[in-house]
Structure 1
Amino acid sequence: MRDHSIPTIDIIELCLLAGKLMLQNGAETYRVEDTMTRIAASFGIHHSHSYVIPTGIIFSIDGLEPSKLIRISERSTDLEKVTLVNNISRRISGGELSHEQAMMELKELEKANLFFPAWVQISAAAISSACFLIMFDGKWHDFFPALVTGGVGFSCFLYLHYLVKIKFFSEFSASLIIGFMAFLFVTSGLGHEIDKIIIGSVMPLVPGLLITNAVRDLMAGHLVSGLSKGAEAFLTAFAIGSGIAVIFAFY
Structure 2
Amino acid sequence: MTIQQEYTYDVMEVCLLAGKIMLESGAETYRVEDTMMRMAQAFGAKESHSYVTPTGIIFSIESEQPTKTKLFRITNRTTDLHKVTLVNSISRKITSNELTMVEAYHALKEIEKSGVEYSVKLQVLAAAIASGCFLIMFQGTWVDFLPAVIAGGTGLVAFILAQSLVPIKFFAEFVASLIIALLSLFFVTVGWGFELDKIIIGSVMPLVPGLVLTNAVRDLMAGHLVSGLSKGAEALLTAFAIGSGVAVVLTFL
**TM-score under structure 2 length normalisation:** 0.96
Q: Where in structure 2 are the equivalents of 1:1-251 lying within 5 Å?
A: 7-63=7-63, 64-251=66-253
How far apart, CA to CA, are the structure 1 residues paired with 2:62 and 2:40? 12
Query: Residue 30 of structure 2 aligns to which amino acid in structure 1?
Result: Y
Q: Deviations over 1:148-170 (max 9, x none)?
A: 01111111111111111100110
Whole-angstrom distance in 2 between the partners of 1:22 and 1:138 = 38
The 8 Å contact of residues 181 and 245 in structure 2, kept in 1 or not, is answered as yes
Contact kept in structure 2, 1:81 and 1:114, CA below 8 Å:
no
8 Å contact 2:188–2:196 — kept in the other structure? yes
Query: Which amino acid counterpart does residue 228 of structure 1 have in structure 2?
Result: S
Q: Residue 6 of structure 1: CA displacement?
A: 7.0
User: CA-to-partner distance for each residue in 1:73-132, whole Å, 9 max, x for gaps?
Assistant: 111110000000000000000100000000010111111113311100000000000000
Q: Which runs of 5+ in 1 are unaligned?
A: none
Q: How much does 1:5 deviate? A: 10
- Change beyond 3 A, Cα 1:114–1:177: closer
Does the 8 Å contact 1:217/1:226 carry over to 2?
A: yes
Quick one: which amino acid aligns to residue 23 of structure 2?
A: L
- After TM superposition, the runs of 4+ consecutive aligned structure 1 residues lying more than 4 A away are 3-6
Of residues 106-115 and 236-245 in structure 1, the stretch that sits farther from structure 2 once superposed is 106-115
Measured in 2, the distance between the counterparts of 1:114 and 1:250 equals 38
Q: Structure 1 residues 24 and 107 mapped into 2: Cα distance closer, same or farther (>3 Å)?
A: same
Letter in 2 for 1:45: A
Q: CA deviation at 1:44?
A: 1.2
Contact 1:51 1:59 in 2 (8 A): yes
- Of 235-244 and 6-15, more deviation after overlay is shown by 6-15
Other structure's SS at 1:7 match? helix
Task: Check conservation: 1:8, 1:65, Cα contact below 8 A.
Answer: no
Q: Percent identity?
A: 62
Note the aligned Cα RMSD (angstroms). 1.3
1:14-63, Cα deviation, whole Å (9 max, x unpaired): 11000000000000000000000000010111310000000000000223
Q: Which runs of 5+ in 2 are unaligned?
A: none
Q: What is the letter of the counterpart of residue 134 of structure 2?
A: F
